[in-house]
Structure formats: structure tokens, C-alpha cells
Structure 1
């Protein structure tokens, strides 16, 4: 038998037409010395998500630690007692599926989060985490610990592994997991022909698996064209991070601080940007508008995820799935009533409920509207009652659309892609669901008075031109570590067992710059914004601002000091405010940590979108989009926001596209500029064009 090691050189040399991206150079920052010890310990707790090793340091600590005897080591003793009552009553068993959308599991995870969050010091936090790692369900432990570390003020700057390294099974389908398990079972001994046919090779002590995206077997209705985007590990991690930052079950005081009063606005802005970016990708692939659906009609969008989470395979939804069954009757009544209630309030221009009176003419009422659709605790704050998440629009909508049968009990249920933040964006109906919610919020925004000339015109400042470098996208291979999807003995994990990597084509673009030509009559500090939007709709019709204002993707947001006269301001795509570098592997994190450093973006901007996803995939002839530039006067941040890295000024998120534009001619001002640009694509138009025709998930020329 020839092993894959023998053909490693052949495979590596015949890597196809895509370049292989090596993320070796990364911006770093010095880690605060007081965090060093805990940073190492946090990584050790996450080294293997599912398995608990009795020989590990955390095991003896977790076995011996007694939470009840150390109640004084937590700032909220009531939270400790509440958790202990639940613990004695029984919690999710180990090795069971965990989803934050299952009500009983949400309660448990929230109380565990409170334990982590209220631990008085690093030592108590580590001991509590070790106890939870040993005693509790691994999914619940990971969710609560991950969320608490990112919210505790004293752990700011800690770097945790990316979601796709912690939960690889949510980011690759069963086909590649099968190849990995086969490799482990056969100790890597494959006939040369088998290794070449299945895209497996070995370098040093690591196995690599060429893996493409899901095809027509998972997606009907041509939705498979978007799989390279909707299944992208960076795109799905971005969504997971958002809900780590803004959990639907959390009170805004604790998780958002001064941004509590803008929670609903944040909700709307995030989903508006997410859907706008998705819409651009649809258009570039010729798929047109995001389809609409009705709760009372068959759901056209089928989805066969082929995901497996070590316990159960994910539920499948066939085309024209009928939701209106007797089992779903109450759920459909609820979501339908929820929508109609909102429309009734919209028709009157005000909302009176939950001991609140909301005037929809007021632009700040977006905070209430966003909270209404998320159904978070801040919506019910003035009532003084806790939220019943069983009656959550988002939760019930996900359950209906996911097409899984009713849960057997609190802990046994068939998973769906919509029940996990790591997998939600893979399902085409996700975008249809949130497009429905955004349409309702846009209905509310029709009550807002449009911006007028006095609001938008910056006297004495004019944008003469903006110049954009040629925009070019391409696919490249990227290696990411999926070893945590495998099982190892303690000896294997300590003596350097094999690592497992997936090599997958992904979307990227060439670096580019944008130059703003601005004339100013005076010296002044200004804010400059840059947006991108589609030029034509799915039918090829020219889009006007009246119909397109909600589709603008915000690329950059920065301050600049203008001098009197002509100003040339250049920004590179690497500078853009809303984006970050790619995350690095756990191994690279440890390597940098040994030097007292951590990856800067993973420490400070972990929740931003990877910059390589900034542009939609271009076309050979050029995909037309519009770049919109806007310059306006800077106003100093309000005191409560000065320490934040999330905002540049006090304007609403998405300004000036946070309100409708009924008359575009009254909207345009000299301090604005729109430039038509084209995005080109180099290389194969789709990643699967570079693979064996007879293998749907292998990559060609290996």
C-alpha cells in the first residue's frame, strides 16, 4: 500500500489554477501582561471541544472546585444560587446537542454565562470554567464561556480560536468528515489512485483535504451558485460573532453598555448591511431579487445541508415545503399575528404597548422597532417582567422554516441549519426570513421625514471626483484547521498527533485604493463615508435612489482634516473601517503568544467582516456597481462613546441612507459624489469549475 505521503509532492505541485494563500504575516499587538496566564489557560480549555482528558491540568481543578463553597468569589451571589438550583434539578447531559434556540438550554446557558461573567478574578473564572468543562455539556460550556470572555471588561484583548476551528462540523459537510475519519481509521494508508481521486495529501505531520462547496444536491433553484459565499467560513463566523456580542437573551446594560439605547438600531443596521451584501452577490450571479414567501403557501426554497454534528444529521427541507400542518397551526398564527400587529401600529403612526408610547415619526424609535423584532429583554424593560422566549418571532420563524419535527423533549431534537448561528447563513431561506423583517422595518421608516438640504449640504465643501482603482476578484485556496472535529486519546493529543486541514477555494480581491478629490473653502475636520450599491436590479433595470437607498453597503467611515483649497485623500482597501484581516489558526496564536504578542485584529476587531469579502464576485465583462462618497462636518463624539471603537461620530448607523429618499433630486448635494465602477473576475467563474467533473466535492488536477 502506498501512503498519501508518497504522493504529497505530486498533489502539491498540481494544485490547479487557484493560488494557495498562506497567512503568515499578520499585524500583532502586545498582550497585556496580566492577561498572559489566563490567555494560555483559555486556549487549553478550548484545545479539544468535545473530549475531556483526565490527565489535563483543568481536569483536576474542575473536579475539586466547589462553586457553592466559593459563593463569595462572585459579584452576584444570587446568580450563583440560581445556577446551583438548576444544576441540582438537572441540566443538559454531556454529548447531547446544544442550541441556544432551545428554551431549556437557553436558560441553562444564560445562568452559566452569569457565573463566568460575575467571577471576581481570573483565578475564579478559570476554576469555574474548568468545573464547567468537566461537568457540563460541551456545547453549552463553549457557548457561555466564549460569550462571557468577550463581554467581561477584564478579559478585553483575549484572543479565542475562530468558530470554524472550534466547530469544524458546522463549517464543512459530511463528505469531508468522512474522508477525515477514513484517514484516521486507515492510518493514512491509501492507494495512490484513491488519494488523488479524493483530493487527500500529507505534508509533514498534517493531512490536507481538498474540499469545495455544496452543489445542486444541497441547493435547488440555482442557489448553489452562491455556495462559495453563503458557506464561506469568514461570512458565517461574522454572523456568529455578532450574536456573541449582542445575544438576544441579554440585557443591554451588561452586553452593550452605552449602546443599549441604540440596540434596536444596531439590530436593523447589521441585518440591513448583511442583506445588502448578499443582494450584491445574488445580482453578480444572475439570481435577481431575494425571493419572498408566505406562511400560508408552499415554501419554494428547499435545502439539503448534509451537515452532521456528531449526534444527528441536520434536517432536510424539500422544495415547496408546506408549513401549514396541524402541528404548526399555533406557530403560524403567532408569526402572522405578530406581523399584523406591527402593521396595525404602523398605520396609526404610534405604538402603545409594554408600558411604552412610541412615536414612529421620531427617528430614535428605530431602537424600539429593532427590539420588537429581535424580542430582547430591553423591549419589556418598563414592564418589569422577564421575556418569554417561547413566544419569540425569530425563534418560531426559524423553527417553522427549518422544517424539523417537534423536539422529543428538552434535550433531544433534530437540528436544522437555522438553529445554529454557525450554519444559519448557509440556508437560502434565512435571507428570505430577514428580508421579510427588514421590509417591515422599512415600512416604519416611511414615517420618518427625509433629510433635506439643510441636513445634508456642507457649505463650502465639494467633491469634484473620486477615482477607484480597477476592482478584481478571484478565488484562492485557503487552509484551515479542522482537527477538533476528530477524536484523539490524551497520548495522541500530547505527543503531536496528526493535524487535519481543509483546503478550500474562497473569494478574495486584489488590493485597491480610492482617491477623493475634495475642494474646501475653509480648513475643517470632516467625516468621509464610502458606500457601494447595485446599479441595476435583478431584471436589469436601472435602480434609482428612491428604490435603492436600503441596498447601500457601507465600506469606509473615517475623519480627515481638510485644508483650504484642493484636497487629495487616498484610502486603500486595507484601511477601510468595517473590515479586518483574516483570523489565524490556533497554532499561530500560540506561536505569537510565546513572543508576548497576539493577532491585533483577532484581539480588537474579531467581529468585523474579513476584508476579502468586501467586494461581490465580479464577472469577465465587469459587474456594474456604484460607489457613493459623502463628506460632512465632524461633531465630537458624545462622552459615553469616546472609548468605543465602533463609531466615528454621533450620526445614525448607515447615515445618510438610514431614511427613505422619496425625491433623489433633493437629496444630492455638492458634498456627495456617485461613481460608476465595474468589478472584474479573474480565473474560473465558479470554484467547482476547477474540479473533476465526476466528483462533486473534489478539486480538479490533483
Structure 2
């Protein structure tokens, strides 16, 4: 699989290369880690650290153009800074062109700083004067792409900007606690103050549509932060001459990550009695309403979409001056761009902006198509094929038309942090995935000869009993409240959210494989549905897009019988929850003072789907899913940079090192299947049926391991 994929489901995670936990001892790195963490504290307020205040006063971009490897980048940013940036306190969305331009300009200012000292001073200056959302986004992208900040841990985004992850009643309770906080006297200042708020999901308070019963999945902070960090490592606006993503096959990755997200969502729908993700037509009222229950830091509510929304009516903008507002024409743009994409797929070729013809049905064709649909800088022609997802998010999100470029009210779909909360996200990206399938349909199905691994047979598969439950998860909301300078520096004000999140009992599984000789193999395990919501068996030919990559690893087969034993903590595509900001800061200070160690894992330095969601919820009586095991010859990925494991402990963006092998993403379900029996007769394939049981956590604690 040309790209260990689903870590993508999640995110490509630190995948099958099994990057280990890393211990930092270098003092320079530890100081940089401390510096970066401080830059993220209470971003909606100016920093009160004395060194930050001093740097912000004395640092001047226009006097230090030569401190940037591209001085023209600094000159341009200073120009737009003087002209007028998005003011602090206003809402930022990277899906608005003017906001995106400012975020890109700030990212380049960070990225092209000649050395770390210039980067840090630039970041401190921007921390005080630039719009909070623009600053947070651009800084995050710069940290994960600059070579001298490789390995720096970004704190959990749901702790840095909790407004986008917790409902407004939770944020209001945090405000209320802070207003009543009395820790101002000499005695109280030496104490640690904390408060815990029980956080519900949006369907608890107001449910516009039955699909909001899935909010434990769509609003999970781990799932939404995964999608956010994916956008940080692979921004839709970055590439081309500014950053080389070719080794990472970003176009194919774009397709695969959305296909896997949709498949995982479908598994969860089945556990709750829902069926296929709905199709929609722009001409027909959009059935699924959505009430986000979110509030921006400035007090503005997120837009709401009613049930059966008339998309074509809403964007006529009666009585509004919309001549210069291109978002008012989103309804027209999305249909134009989708038609052009369909035509390109059906014709089999596209044209670049300078008229060169590019064949889509070539070895690199799916990568070209993915770049084209995402409309990233590697697209053959961004202008003609257009930013489909930008206008579709605006249209389906039912956003208000902006008064001007600085006064916008984006919908949940217009932030990566909140997109997955809206059921419309899955319906729109289902259209996108089906366009890719329209493309894939032109390729021949795999034959038995293509899939067969000579001399290898999977004899059996065994899984422990699979049990899920909800348990409490705590996260820090302190950045949602405003603090005075003393509280800012001592960090003693803490507000926490406690929320039920899906989890599963640890389990083991075994794969029994016979091999006629010693040889290297690669093992893929998928989980998918066996029956639809009505209990009807689904053929693999109809069902292949609903399989989620569960595990993927390389294995050295010995001659004879092999018993491959794995446990639920070894699945490389899924990661544990990110370390909290307070823990990170405490660890790095301890390491600097010689009182501890600073250890991080790929979960803190890359992006991955939360391990809590390794299994779908299931049902009390058990819901049947099927695992599909595929053992194939190992074929190394052909376009990777060499690396030193001692220095290179998680995938560097653009290196291709997160890919385990050279198979297409989603293999062998990436192509149409015309004869189901082919996939059941191949000796190196094996289908295994297992039930997933959902229990109350108290029921599990009171039971024996043999029972559950």
C-alpha cells in the first residue's frame, strides 16, 4: 500500500514503521520545546511573560529583512501589516480567501526565518499583534514544517482553543467559575485552584435531526483534533514550489483519508441503527439540519442549518449587496466545478494552466486527480477546476454572507476543528469519494493471479471478545477563560471538562499462516460490515468501500506454521490521547531542571485516529462485523528518503517515510470487485466474523475477564 494508509483513518499515523517513544536530553531542544509551549498559552490574550513583552516592543520586521532566507516574504508581510490585517478578536477561517492569504503570508514569515532565534522572535511579535486565529494556525503549520523545530510537540488543540470542541454551555460554566474565583489574596495565591465541568454533546440539549445521536463520534475531541492536525501537516494551500509533497503522494492520500473517514463513520452508524450515508442533490432541500451548540470567543454563535434547507434560495441574498461577495455564488460554483471534474474523469485527461495535456489514466493519475479535486498548489489548474470544497462548505454550512472581509460568521464546516461535527460533512465527501470511484471504475478488477501469494495460506484467525464502553476523559479548559498577569504567569487557575468518550477493552488476536519458505510478507487487516441496517448480508463487491484498515505491518514468515500474535496497542494506525499541555510543560521544566525526563511518542508529534475508536460501538447483544486478513509479498515503497532512526523518530513531512510498502492505498479493496468468490478462494486471504459488544463501564468492572 503505497502509503500505510489509514493511519489515515487516521491519519497515517506513525505507521507501520513503528516509530518508538523518544527521550529528549538535548538542552537546546528542551528550551525550544518550552518556548513553543509558552507561545500557545491563552492565545486570546496578550502574553504577560516579561521576555515576550520585551521582544514584542523591540522586534521590528522591516529593520531585519536580511534575517529571512527570502527577504521578499518579510517585505510583503510588513506591507500587508501596515495596510491592515484581520484585527485581533475577529473570527478567522482558512476557508475565506482573504484570511487564507494572511495565514499563508504569516506562515512564510515563520518558515523562511534564517534561524531559530529569528523564528522565535517573529512568533513572539506575532503573538502580541496578529489575529489570534491566524497566528495559531500559521504558527502550528510552521512548527511541523521547519527543520529546526522537528520533534517539537504541539499541545492538544482542544486545550488551546476549547471553544471549537466544547459546547457553549460548558464554556459559559468556565466563565462563571472564573468570575467567582477568589484566589487573589496572599494566602490563596499559593494554592492550586481547579474546577471540573461535566460536558455533554450537542444532541443532549437540542437535537434537530436524529443523526445527532451520533454526536459522541462526530464531536469526539480526539477525532476532530485528528482532522485538524491532518490539515496542519498537509494544508490544502501548501505545496508546489514552497514545499515538496511528491514523496507523500498527497493526491492519493487526499482520497484515501476521506474514504476511510466515511467507512469508519458508516461502521458507527450501523451500531446505532442507521444505514448508508445519505446522498443529496443541490436542487432538492437538504434534509439534515444541524445545531452546532458552539460559540466563538467573541460571543458570536455558530450558524445553524434548519432541516430541509433550500440551498438555492438561501444564496440569492435578497436585499444584500453581493457583487463583490463571491461566496454568495457558491451554489453556482459547486455545480460548475463538479461538472468539470466529471468531464475530466470521463475524458481521461486534464489540462494544465498553460495548456499541457495530462493523462489521468496513468501510474500517477490518481495523485493528479486528488490534487485537482483538493485544489492544492500541485493541481494542474487550480483556477479552472476550482476550490470545490471551499464553496461547498460555505453552501452546506448555511453560513451568513460576510459583511466585509473582516466580519465573517463561518459555519462548523468552515473550520477543520469542527467540520466532522456536521453530518453534512460526510454527505459532501461521499460525493467526492464517488467521483474517485467513477475514476477507479475504468481500471480492471484484480485477478486471482494478481492477489495470490504463492506458497502462503492463512489457516485461521482468532480474536478475544470485543467489548466497548464509555468512560470519562478529562481535558483542560483553562485557555477558555481570561486571566490577569499574575494568574497568567503562575498557571494556578485550572478549569477541566469531564466527558464520556467511547473506549474498548484491550484485546489480543492471532493470525495463523503457513508458508512454504522463509520470506517477508506484509499483513493488512480490515474491519467492515457484514450486514446492512436491516440485517441483510452485503456482498464484498457492494461493500468494499466500507472497510476500514485496522492494522498493517511487515512480518518475516518462517518456513512452516507461523502464529502472528498482536494486541490492540500495536495497531499503528491508531494513537492514544495526546499529552495535556500542563503535563508537557511540567515534563519539559523537570527535564531542564534535572528532575525528570521529557519523553514523547508519535501520538504527540504526528497525527492519528484515536485508539479509543479502534472498534465501532457495537450493541449490547453484540453487532456482527467482519475482519478481512490479507497477507501479501512485501514490496518496499519506492520513493522514500533514507533516515537515521536515532535522529528520525517519527515521519518527517514530505519524506515518504510513513509508508510501509508500495501497494495502492486501500489495496486490495481499491478497485472494483466483479466476482465476490475470487476474494473468498484465495489462500492468503481470510474472512473472520466477530461481534462487538457494548457494555456499561460498571458492568465491565463487576464482571470477570472470561465473561467480557
Superposed counterparts of 1:284-683, under 5 Å: 284-311=271-298, 312-325=300-313, 326-327=316-317, 330-352=329-351, 354=353, 355-380=355-380, 387=382, 391-596=386-591, 597-601=597-601, 605-643=605-643, 644-668=656-680, 669-683=682-696
Residue 200 of structure 1 corresponds to which residue in structure 2? none
Q: Deviations over 1:648-702 (max 9, x none)?
A: 111122211221112222344111111011100111899xxxxxxxxxxxxxxxx
Distance 2:672 2:605 in 1: 31
Superposed counterparts of 1:141-156, under 5 Å: 141-156=135-150
Aligned partner of residue 574 in structure 1, secondary structure: coil
Distance 1:641 1:655 in 2: 23
Q: Deviations over 1:622-664 (max 9, x none)?
A: 1111111111111233253554441111112221122111222
Superposed counterparts of 1:50-65, under 5 Å: 50-65=44-59
Could you say if the C-alpha distance between residues 258 and 397 of structure 1 is closer, same or farther in structure 2, counting changes exceeding 3 Å?
A: closer
Q: Deviations over 1:196-232 (max 9, x none)?
A: xxxxxxx962100111212265433311221111110
Deviation at 1:542, TM superposition (A): 1.2
What root-mean-square deviation, in Å, do the aligned CA atoms of Structure 1 and Structure 2 show?
A: 2.3
Q: Deviations over 1:231-282 (max 9, x none)?
A: 100000000011111111111565454435x111010011011111111101
Structure 1 stretch displaced more, 323-332 or 477-486 = 323-332
Aligned partner of residue 475 in structure 1, secondary structure: strand
Residue 692 of structure 1 corresponds to which residue in structure 2? none
Superposed counterparts of 1:77-96, under 5 Å: 77-96=71-90
Runs of 4+ aligned structure 1 residues displaced above 4 Å come to 252-256, 387-391, 602-605, 641-645
Distance 1:116 1:502 in 2: 33
Distance 1:93 1:229 in 2: 34
Could you say if the C-alpha distance between residues 441 and 32 of structure 1 is closer, same or farther in structure 2, counting changes exceeding 3 Å?
A: farther
Say which structure, 1 or 2, has more relative contact order (CA 8 Å, 6+ apart). Answer: 2
Distance 2:339 2:639 in 1: 40
Aligned partner of residue 41 in structure 1, secondary structure: helix
Could you say if the C-alpha distance between residues 157 and 182 of structure 1 is closer, same or farther in structure 2, counting changes exceeding 3 Å?
A: same
Could you say if the C-alpha distance between residues 344 and 463 of structure 1 is closer, same or farther in structure 2, counting changes exceeding 3 Å?
A: same
**Alpha carbons 2:529, 2:625 under 8 Å: kept:** yes
Residue 213 of structure 2 corresponds to which residue in structure 1? 225
Distance 2:447 2:598 in 1: 47
Deviation at 1:583, TM superposition (A): 0.8
Deviation at 1:438, TM superposition (A): 0.8
**Alpha carbons 2:360, 2:368 under 8 Å: kept:** no
Could you say if the C-alpha distance between residues 640 and 604 of structure 1 is closer, same or farther in structure 2, counting changes exceeding 3 Å?
A: farther
Aligned partner of residue 474 in structure 1, secondary structure: strand
Residue 243, structure 1, aligned to residue 231, structure 2: yes
Could you say if the C-alpha distance between residues 390 and 504 of structure 1 is closer, same or farther in structure 2, counting changes exceeding 3 Å?
A: farther
Of 100, 123, 131, the residue aligned with 1:129 is: 123
Deviation at 1:94, TM superposition (A): 1.1
Could you say if the C-alpha distance between residues 55 and 360 of structure 1 is closer, same or farther in structure 2, counting changes exceeding 3 Å?
A: closer
Distance 2:285 2:48 in 1: 51
Of 36, 41, 64, the residue aligned with 2:35 is: 41
Could you say if the C-alpha distance between residues 389 and 604 of structure 1 is closer, same or farther in structure 2, counting changes exceeding 3 Å?
A: farther
Residue 185, structure 1, aligned to residue 179, structure 2: yes
Could you say if the C-alpha distance between residues 646 and 272 of structure 1 is closer, same or farther in structure 2, counting changes exceeding 3 Å?
A: same
Of 195, 200, 211, the residue aligned with 1:207 is: 195
Distance 2:588 2:669 in 1: 42
**Alpha carbons 1:218, 1:303 under 8 Å: kept:** no
Q: Deviations over 1:81-120 (max 9, x none)?
A: 2212211211111111111111111101101000111112
Aligned partner of residue 629 in structure 1, secondary structure: strand
Could you say if the C-alpha distance between residues 390 and 532 of structure 1 is closer, same or farther in structure 2, counting changes exceeding 3 Å?
A: closer
Distance 2:698 2:667 in 1: 34
Distance 2:374 2:637 in 1: 27
Residue 594 of structure 2 corresponds to which residue in structure 1? none
**Alpha carbons 2:640, 2:657 under 8 Å: kept:** no
TM-score by length of structure 2 reads 0.87
Of 54, 69, 73, the residue aligned with 1:75 is: 69
Could you say if the C-alpha distance between residues 216 and 499 of structure 1 is closer, same or farther in structure 2, counting changes exceeding 3 Å?
A: closer
Residue 91 of structure 2 corresponds to which residue in structure 1? 97
**Alpha carbons 1:159, 1:598 under 8 Å: kept:** no
Aligned partner of residue 569 in structure 1, secondary structure: strand
Deviation at 1:595, TM superposition (A): 4.1
What are structure 2's unaligned runs of at least 5 residues? 1-19, 184-190, 318-326, 592-596, 644-655, 700-708
Distance 2:383 2:496 in 1: 42
Distance 2:255 2:636 in 1: 24
What are structure 1's unaligned runs of at least 5 residues? 1-25, 190-202, 687-702
Aligned partner of residue 620 in structure 1, secondary structure: coil
Residue 263 of structure 2 corresponds to which residue in structure 1? 276
Structure 1 stretch displaced more, 400-409 or 27-36 = 27-36
Could you say if the C-alpha distance between residues 359 and 660 of structure 1 is closer, same or farther in structure 2, counting changes exceeding 3 Å?
A: farther
Could you say if the C-alpha distance between residues 492 and 280 of structure 1 is closer, same or farther in structure 2, counting changes exceeding 3 Å?
A: same
**Alpha carbons 2:273, 2:533 under 8 Å: kept:** yes
Residue 14 of structure 2 corresponds to which residue in structure 1? none
Structure 1 stretch displaced more, 672-681 or 345-354 = 345-354
TM-score by length of structure 1 reads 0.88
Structure 1 stretch displaced more, 51-60 or 230-239 = 51-60
Q: Deviations over 1:6-28 (max 9, x none)?
A: xxxxxxxxxxxxxxxxxxxx965
Distance 1:405 1:639 in 2: 45
Distance 2:340 2:385 in 1: 18
Distance 1:504 1:219 in 2: 19
**Alpha carbons 2:375, 2:385 under 8 Å: kept:** no
Deviation at 1:172, TM superposition (A): 0.6
Aligned partner of residue 536 in structure 2, secondary structure: coil
Q: Deviations over 1:489-541 (max 9, x none)?
A: 10122344320000101000011122110000010011111111111123332
Distance 1:505 1:97 in 2: 29
**Alpha carbons 1:258, 1:641 under 8 Å: kept:** no
Could you say if the C-alpha distance between residues 363 and 616 of structure 1 is closer, same or farther in structure 2, counting changes exceeding 3 Å?
A: farther
Residue 171, structure 1, aligned to residue 159, structure 2: no
Deviation at 1:397, TM superposition (A): 0.4
Residue 706 of structure 2 corresponds to which residue in structure 1? none
Distance 1:593 1:635 in 2: 40
